[in-house]
Amino acid sequence: GSDYTSQMTIDASNRLTMPDIVGGVGFTATLPISLDNVDNIRAVGFVLNLPEGVSIIEDGAELSSRAIRSHQISYNLVKEGEYRFAIVSLSNKNIKNNEGILLTVTLKIADDVVPQDYNIILSNIELSATGEGLKQADDYTAKMTIQTVGDIDGDGQFTLNDITALIELYLSRGI
């Protein structure tokens, strides 16, 4: 018996990407995920791997104008920090255009996350191309910088020093 996934080919001409993002401890951050494609893509599946303490808010994934009218999105938590996404068209339509944001995900950063840089990873990317079946795309990694909100002096904490620095900044600019 052959393994279904071993029949898929890695395809560099169609890929999912995302930018490096910044978020604050205890706040939300927005993660746009883009599809750049040469082929006509009908469906997309992938896993989004997030750092510990970062999750997707309820109903936190929204399709862009490329697919909002023709496709549906579903996602579920596989295990902590790992979400499986599926974007499909019940009428078998292609995703519009060949580049740009496909969906936006709103992330919640817990109050106890340590401020530092983390990796966010798109993995197990599968693209259904019209007339060509399922293709697998390369994994993609971006950086998520988590900061303490209000930490003006960069010491990782929000303290009286930060308030003083902010006041001095405003006064120096005549604000």
* Mean per-residue pLDDT, 8-28: 85
Instruction: Classify each residue of 9-32 as buried b or exposed e, where b means 16 or more C-beta atoms within 10 Å of its C-beta.
Output: eebeebbbbbeebebbbeeebebe
The confidence band for 100, taking pLDDT boundaries of 50, 70 and 90, is very high
Looking at the predicted structure, is the pLDDT value of residue 7 above 50? no
Q: How far is CA 99 from CA 35, 38, 67, 122, 148, in A?
A: 6, 9, 12, 17, 34
Top-ranked range on mean pLDDT: pick from 31-35, 129-133, 171-175: 31-35
Higher per-residue confidence, 153 vs 125: 125
DSSP single-letter state for residue 102? E
pLDDT score of 161: 81
Structure-token pair, residue 49: 């791997």
Higher confidence at residue 96 or residue 159?
96
pLDDT band at 62, cuts 50/70/90? very high
Backbone phi, psi, residue 171, to 5°? -65, -40
Better pLDDT: 46 or 12: 46
pLDDT band per the 50, 70, 90 thresholds, residue 114: very high
